[in-house]
Amino acid sequence: MKSDCMQTTICQERKKDPIEMFHSGRLVKVCAPMVRYSKLAFRTLVRKYSCDLCYTPMIVAADFVKSIKARDSEFTTNQGDCPLIVQFAANDARLLSDAARIVCPYANGIDINCGCPQRWAMAEGYGACLINKPELVRDMVKQVRNQVATPGFSVSIKIRIHDDLKRTVDLCQKAEAIGVSWITVHGRTAEERHQPVHYDSIKIIKENMSIPVIANGDIRSLKEAENVWQITGTDGVMVARGLLANPAMFAGYEETPLKCIWDWVDIALELGTPYMCFHQHLMYMMEKITSRQEKRVFNALSSTSAIIDYLTDHYGI
């Protein structure tokens, strides 16, 4: 397969305004920013199966601004890739605004990652440590607002919650006051990994906000998405691993349909998805529909042609 290339096509569908979606009164279904996974080919796939809004993987703003190579490898889009939010990891207002200006013609908005709990991100001043730095978040949002004058260009944040929820509500209200378009809330603290998601906390945050709020955390089916939407009173739900396992989830499928698998093969081949990514996505998609022995065989395949032969032999075209 060909490697990813920079394909900057100006978004022609600005009419698909996320803000208008959030005020529609219906559930807005969002594909989360996933490192390595939520790239153009996967976004194209989930859009075919009722996903309303997609995020890019998290991109380090400093590298993106300083390196053409980083821009070419990290950000690929096309005309059908709308509406699109580009998520940045940043700790510097000027660099973030520079990155926002670069992507502005090709996306509907940017999102500041204030929720990643990984140690490397926290050590660099990115991710979840920003929920404890509201002044820095304020400066970054203000700088982007000052530098990007495109009407409708959104600036959002994705956060985790504090142990003391009052601090999170205060952070969100301050973010709203400085012009954040919406807030995505992952209902765990930075220290929590597999503990139950605090949907009650997301509900409290939503009740204290006027701007849209998206709920995030452990949503694995359309039914669960609808339940979380109802429980929290939010304007949308964001899904990560649930979509990896079943990209057709938002269309109501309980497991990945065969048509979706073949759609992935077609899209990945057309867009030149690297082999490792192509194969890994299929392993996720086929987790529930293959036996243990079939998994061992399929996971050991080492070429695109071998995968296509396997799928043709076992599932037909």
pLDDT, position 6: 40
Q: What sign does the dihedral 179-181-183-184 (CA atoms) show?
A: negative
> In angstroms, what is the C-alpha Rg of the chain?
19
Rounded-to-integer distance, Cα 113 and Cα 35, Å: 12
pLDDT, position 15: 54
Strands 53-55 and 59-60: unpaired
158 forms beta bridges with 113, 184
Strands 84-89 and 53-55: parallel
- The catalytic position among 116, 129, 172, 260 is 116
Question: pLDDT tens track of the chain, all 317 residues?
Answer: 333 334 445 555 455 789 999 999 999 999 999 999 999 999 999 999 999 999 999 999 999 999 998 899 999 999 999 999 999 999 999 999 999 999 999 999 999 999 999 999 999 999 999 999 999 999 999 999 999 989 999 999 999 999 999 999 999 999 999 999 999 999 999 999 889 999 999 999 999 999 999 999 999 999 999 999 999 999 999 999 999 999 999 999 999 999 999 999 999 999 999 999 999 999 999 998 899 999 999 999 999 999 999 999 998 76
Rounded-to-integer distance, Cα 289 and Cα 315, Å: 11
Q: CA–CA distance from 54 to each of 8, 65, 207, 240 (Å)? A: 16, 22, 25, 11
Tokens of 252: 């109501």
pLDDT, position 121: 92
Neighbours of 305 (CB within 10 A): 9
The string of DSSP letters for the chain reads -PPP-------S-TTS-HHHHHTSSSPEEEEPP-TTTSSHHHHHHHHTTT--EEEPPPEEHHHHHH-HHHHHHH----TT--SEEEEEE-S-HHHHHHHHHHHGGG-SEEEEEE----HHHHHTT-GGGGGG-HHHHHHHHHHHHHH---TT-EEEEEEE--SSHHHHHHHHHHHHHTT---EEEESS-TT-SSSPP-HHHHHHHHHT-SS-EEEESS--SHHHHHHHHHHH--SEEEESHHHHH-TTGGGT-SS--HHHHHHHHHHHHHHT--HHHHHHHHHHHTTTTS-HHHHHHHHT--SHHHHHHHHHHHH--
Of 101, 112, 111, which Cα lies nearest the Cα of 148?
A: 101
Asked about 116 being catalytic, the answer comes back as yes
Q: What sign does the dihedral 243-224-237-185 (CA atoms) show?
A: negative
Rounded-to-integer distance, Cα 91 and Cα 95, Å: 8
Evaluate whether 53 touches 11 at the Cβ level (below 8 Å): no
Tokens of 248: 């057709």
Evaluate whether 215 touches 229 at the Cβ level (below 8 Å): yes
Evaluate whether 171 touches 191 at the Cβ level (below 8 Å): no
pLDDT, position 316: 78
pLDDT, position 70: 87
